Amino acid sequence: MEELRVRRIREGTVIDHIPPGKALKVLSILGISGSEGTVVAVLMNVESRKLGKKDIVKLEGRFLTRDEVDEIALVAPTATINIIRDYEVAEKFSLTLPKVLEGIVRCPNPRCVSNVPGEPVVSRLELVDPERGLYRCHYCGRLVEVSEMEELLLQ
């Protein structure tokens, strides 16, 4: 099968090995709608030796913050981040679950102090079981699975 090709970028970020179908979620995390003018390439459901299928997002002239990388790790844990400079892969890293999520994911417990309007409490979830992707709320003790976090992202 002929591979779908998108040309290499000059400077920016390539997010590769995204689970198939999750590219648009990654773009939403990055706040990219298309109207910012950033040159973006999105490949969905292309062949991957490692994953069977995968999505790829290429961002020309855009680099990611720590928080953005942490959020992507929650919805696309298999992704690799490639930082491109002068057409070369200058840095490549895979994602790991952040030990602490501060102000990134809302606690699902509606009575948690971190959900009380007017309380200056920033949500804080701590990784308690990396194997199972299990976090615990620092304030109320509620356990939260990575798989339920897509709906709980703050921003």
User: Which residue ranges make up the site for Zn ion (CB under 5 A)?
Assistant: 107, 109, 112, 137, 139-140, 142
Nearer Cβ to Zn ion (21/103): 103
65-84 footprint of ligand CTP as x/- string (CB under 6 A): ---------------x-x-x
Question: Which of positions 4-33 make contact with ligand CTP (CB under 6 A)?
Answer: 8-9, 14, 16
- Number of helices (H), then strands (E), belonging to the chain: the values are 2, 9
* Selected binder of ligand CTP within 45, 47, 87, 96 (CB under 6 A): 87
Give every CB contact of residue 37 below 8 A, 6+ residues apart in sequence: none
Q: Could you tell me the smallest distance in angstroms from the CB atom of residue 24 to ligand CTP?
A: 18
Neighbours of 24 (CB within 10 A): 14
Residues in the chain: 155
